[in-house]
Amino acid sequence: DIVMTQSPDSLTVSLGERATINCKSSQSILYRSNNKNYLAWYQQKLGQPPKLLISWASTRESGVPDRFSGSGSGTDFTLTITNLQAEDVAVYYCLHHYYTPWTFGQGTKVEIK
């Protein structure tokens, strides 16, 4: 199975500042035939189901603010939240769907300083 490891487990950021969350896979999740990274990022606010933010490592979903961006390829990926807002307080998860079983990272909790 592919293991997804996020870092840090939690971070505290001031309003308007940048939050950076890393996700590392135990093997490459880049499918060379279509040059796609099989990685998604989700935001889960307290008491709510997760919400898809980013698919294919860097494609922002419709309606997601452009302060959210995803980058990386192969085994190392990053979710960046610029200009952090109060409503961004949540737990963020990466998920690979390269082959089954799909696995999530352990989550990164983002709080406001």
Partner 1 sequence: QLVQSAAEVKKPGASVRVSCKTSGYSFDTYGISWVRQAPGQGLEWMGWISIDNIKTTNVQKLQGRVTMTRDTSTSTVYMELRSLRSDDTAMYYCARVALGGVIDYWGQGTLVTVSA
Task: Name the minimum Å distance from CB 28 to partner 1.
Answer: 16
Token couple for 79: 């979710």
Query: Is 92:41 a contact under the CB 8 Å cutoff?
Result: yes
Element (H, E) at 45: none
Residue 73 binding partner 1, by CB under 8 A: no
Query: Is 107:23 a contact under the CB 8 Å cutoff?
Result: no
Q: Which residue's entry shows tokens 């390829």?
A: 73
**What mask of x and - would describe binding to partner 1 in positions 12 to 51, judged by CB under 8 A?**
------------------------x-x-x-x-x----xxx
Give residues in contact with partner 1 (CB under 8 A): 1, 36, 38, 40, 42, 44, 49-52, 55-56, 61, 93, 95, 97, 100-107
